[in-house]
């Protein structure tokens, strides 16, 4: 996964998402997405990033997120399948 930031131990540097909101700008020419995230896993410190996208980018991102959710569901379901005896 090229371009991802990592911690010193090589694990991915990630922050838990704790909220989001959206808005439209410029009479629908742009969409805004505010992602709120925790700076620690205790969720006591937070920050946010505010992004602006075109309608095409919003559609593409929503598709990518839906695909990710579907893959996550499939992986969870595969983990819950009982193993068959040999």
> What is the predicted pLDDT for the residue at 79?
87
> What is the predicted pLDDT for the residue at 41?
87
Give which of 50, 55, 53 is closest to 20, Cα–Cα.
50
CB 67 within 8 A of CB 59: no
> What is the predicted pLDDT for the residue at 84?
67
For 5-58, the pLDDT digits (tens) are 999 999 999 999 999 999 999 998 999 999 999 999 899 999 999 999 999 999
Question: Is the pLDDT reported for residue 86 higher than 80?
Answer: no
Write down the domain spans for the chain: 17-80
> What is the predicted pLDDT for the residue at 85?
67
> What is the predicted pLDDT for the residue at 45?
96
């Amino acid at each position: 996964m090229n371009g991802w930031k990592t911690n010193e131990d090589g694990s991915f540097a990630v922050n838990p998402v704790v909220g989001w909101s959206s808005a439209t700008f410029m009479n629908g020419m742009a969409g805004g997405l505010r992602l709120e995230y925790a700076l620690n896993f205790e969720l006591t410190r937070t920050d946010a990033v505010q992004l602006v996208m075109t309608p095409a980018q919003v559609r593409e991102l929503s598709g990518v997120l839906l695909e990710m959710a579907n893959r996550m569901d499939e992986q969870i379901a595969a983990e819950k399948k009982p193993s068959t005896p040999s």
